[in-house]
Every structure is written in C-alpha cells, then in structure tokens.
A and B are shown apart, each in its own frame.
Chain A
Amino acid sequence: MKLHGVQQTKWSGVLIFALLILVFPMIVTQSFYLTQATFAGIYAIIAIGLGLLMGYAGQISLGQAAFYGIGAYTTSVLTATMGWSPWISLPVAILVPAVVAFFMGYTMSRLSGYYLAMATLALGIIVHTLLVEWRGVTKGASGFFGIPQLNLFGFTITQGVPYYYLVWFFVLVVLVLSLNIVHSRVGRALRSIHDSEIASSAMGVNTGKYKMQIFILSAMFAGLAGWLFAHMSYSISPAAFTMDASILFLAMVVLGGSGSVWGALIGTLLIRVVGIVVHALGEKFPFITSDFEHVIYGLILMLVVIFMPRGLFPSVTGWFESLATKRSSKKSMLEVAAAKREV
C-alpha cells in the first residue's frame, strides 16, 4: 500500500510540473526570459543524466560537455554539411555520444574514484581539442554556421515560444524516463551499488554492466541536449563545450542534489537564476563582471558540500519528512526510511 502512495505523489509531481511548463510562457512573455528558460531546459536534460550517473551509479564525470558537444556537432555536420533532415539526424546525434561512451566505458570499467575523474577530464579535453583542430569537419574555432531550423508538420519551430515548448517537451520525456529507471529494478540495483559496490556484487548484481548502462544513458541525454542546442542557435562553436561547461553541469547537480532526479532539475533552474541575477546586477554595477558569476558558482559548490552534502532538494524534503515524523508518531521508522530511499 505504501508503494502505491509513493507512486501517486511521483506522478502528481510530474503533472504539476507539466502544467507549470505549459503556463510559463503565458505569464512571462519577455523574449529574454523565454530564451533563458529554453536554455535551462537544455541544461536540465544534461543535468538529469549527470545526476543519475553521480547519485545512482556513484560515478563522477568531469567531461560531460564532451557528449553535449559531440551531439551538437554530429547534427551540424549531418544537416548543414550533408543536407540531412534534422529529424533523421536526431537519433544519430544521440547514438554517436552513446558509442563514444561505450568505448570510454571500457577504459573506465577498470578505473574508479580519482582515476575515473581523471579519465572523464581527459575525454573532455580531447573532444574540445578535436572540435577546434579538426577544421575539415568542425570548421575550427570559429564554428559552424547555417545549421537548419526545425520543421514540424509544415511549421518552422523558431526561437521563442515554439522552441521553448519543444525543449521542455523533451525535458518531460527525459524526466519521466529517469523517474521510471530510478524506481525500477535497475534503479534499486544502482542504489545498492552506490551504497556498497562490493556488497551488491556479492548479491549477484552485475555492477559493471549497470554502471556502464547509466554512463551511456547520461551521454545520450547530453547528445539530445546538443541536438536541441544546435538547431536552436543555428551556429555553434567549440567555446560552448569547454571544461567550464562540464563544471557548470556538475554545479547544477551538486546544488540540486545528486541522487534525486528532481534535484538535478531544480539545481539547473537555480544556477540559471543565479546567472540572470548576476547579469542584471552587472548592468547596474559595472564592477560586477561575468567573472563574478564564477566566484559565486565556486562559493555555491563549497557551501553545498560543507553544509548540505546531499544537495538542496533531498535536504529540504528530508526536513519535511522529519517534521512529519515528529507530528505523527504512528508513522514507523521503516516507512520514513523507505520514503527517503524513493525520492
């Protein structure tokens, strides 16, 4: 019966969230905020994937921007250079990062901890260097121009409200998919890996396989985000896929809370809000430059790790839960523990 309740809150959350997405452009009509919200959606897709990797597989990736870039450049080459339809290039833009992740996974399956962090860092640097130097295909540092717009049923999906809805439609798909994974057999296996890899492999969980699968999935999400980004901005350059971007994605997940699908989403929105606020302050006070943004991201990372190691979302829901336990003594400790696990 308990499980039934949990499932209900899960899907009602998705429903409320979908409604919020629907009404947002009706309330906020300035194109600046709409563009920001669209970007937030693109980043949210990456952050949710990274959150699964960090929170459920217990692995860190310091090179997630590589997969994002591979996705964006794959579709750019296929559509702008080779004249494919963007919709046909979509599965390819998701598949190519997955293939790269698969081969990386072989190296990584032998590594752990700091060695793994190093390997993902290396991947990010290699891909960025290739994007700059492989001029014949990527057009070098100046980047790609003339990436075609998306068409759907004869309508062109332009920047603004249409693209906003497209991006957030994909966010919803990714969100529902991830929540399903988290609540499935695979999710339980992954959580057990996170707690103790040795114990779970002793229980017959194929830890390597699940870690590999989640790593590939997170790369596919990033590839999808890259596809969305390329067809939104019509021009891309390697500057968008640096290590700074990878660390920004990391900050989103850490702030919201790894080990929570909702947390990654909320973290993304908060980091975007911080960016907007700093930008707005910078227009009033000239000494606040964009570097200030980095100072704040750095501060956020440090403060969250020290004061809220689980991240914002799990911490806040944790407080509510402990409040609820104090009020209703009927609720057994076991149920609370179960609820915590399910978030």
Chain B
Amino acid sequence: MIKTGYKTKKAIGNVFAYIFLILICIIWLFPFVGLVLQSFRSYATEYGGMVSYIVPKQFSLDNYKFMFSGETNFLLWYKNTVTIAFFVSLLQTMVILCVSYALSRMRFAGRTLLMKSWLILGLFPGFLTMICLYFLLKQFGLTQAGAIPGLILVSVASSGMGYYVCKGYFDTIPKALDEAARIDGASRARIFFTMTIPMSKPIIIYTALVAFMAPWNDYIFASYVAFGHDKSYNVAVAMYRWMNTNDYQGYFTRFCAGGVLIAIPVTILFMFLQKYYVEGVTGGAVKG
C-alpha cells in the first residue's frame, strides 16, 4: 500500500519532469527551427527580408542555390574558415600539450612565476590589442591578402596561456608511471610521446574541438586583419555584413541558409565528440 503510494508519487514526479524537459527542449530548439525554416523560404516569391511569420508559405532551395552559385565568395569564405579552424585546431593542440606537460610534469626555475603571470595576462581585455597585433602582422605581410596565415599565427601564438584545463588533466595521471619509466631509462621526451599522449585521448580531443569551434565565431579580429579584402574573409566577417549593412537588402534568408551550412559541420563534429568533450571538461576544467 505504502509502496504503491510511493510509486504513484514518483510517477507523478516523473511526468512533471518530462513536461518540464519537453518545454525546455522546445525553447532551446525554437531559434534553430526558425533558422532552418527561414532558410527554405522562397526568395523569388516571398522576398528575402524579415517577415513576421515563421513557416514559409512556399519552400524552396533558392537561398542555398545562391550560396553555391558563385555570386558571392561564399565557398571561398567557407574554405578559409575551415582552413583556419583546421590549422588552429592542430597547432593549438600541439602547443597546449607541450606547455601542459612541461608545467604538470617538470619542475624548473620560474615555473610558478610563468603560470601566475599567464593567468594574470589572461585577464587583460584582449581586443584592445587588436590594432597593435594588426601592425605587427602587417610587418610580416600577414594582413589583407595574407590574413589567413596571420589569423592562424595569432591564435596559435598565444594559445600556450590556455594550458589550464589540459594541465589539470595531466595532473590526474599518476606520476608513479613516469617515475617507473624513468627508472627503466626512458627520456622525458619518450615518456611524453609514448605514454602521456596516448593516455590523454579525451583531453586531446577536447582541446582540438574547442580550438576548432572558435574560428567560426571570430568576427572582430578577423574583420580587422582582412579589411577591404573580400577573398580573405571568413564566414563570420562576410555574413555579419549581410545582417548589418544597408548594402545587403533582402539577405536575411540567405543569412539563415549560410548559418545552417556553417552550423552543420560543427554540430556533427560536436555531437560525435560530445562524450570526449564532457570527459575533457570534467577531467580537466574543474578537476572532479
């Protein structure tokens, strides 16, 4: 009798939980559904600007066709962004692994000073230094036409400061393993490459994933470095104009279509690697 009462109570609790979850999911998905629906609105019959309804009266692929038609450099911008994201992801992961290993495993003069000063440097509002970085890059010829390598260089060069999460993860790998290997005569470099790295799959994937996702959002600095050079834009710089410059009337649905195309690879990647993301972030970021 008591047991059934408990069960009913629990069942009712679960029903509320489900209702609540469904509600949350609707709220969370709404903007994306809106984005996708608008991207299929027919440009020819319903105009490309803003409208006050969400379901298009006529579905069409006009906006997607426009993206691939070559009327704009969309494919080039897309390629630029993928290039940046790929190289930043690759190089940044390497840099972070190196820095984290050195900080986690080795004890050297100035180690704590280094960590302290990097944490403090990280509190400085970064984009104030944009104009300075711009002129530094310009000295190396890495602006305008050379903006892509320039953006990669800047992202990678400062990435060592983001050692925090990865070092936290390395700290959880028992030091005794290292010691044992050293007694067997293995060098530090050997331990790093043959032991530590293979044991760090989640954190490597986490670092690479985070690094890969960032360039898709880079509007401010990318627009600074590439200004006035359409071919060096990334998707964020190019498409931001569609929403905020008067020259692009009726680009709203195109913006939505572009947004969907951009979201696809990142979302797929994220969905597949979500497990590692959670492992990485809980294993390193908060030291659980």
Do A and B come together as binding partners? no
Residue positions of A touching B, CB distance < 8 A: none
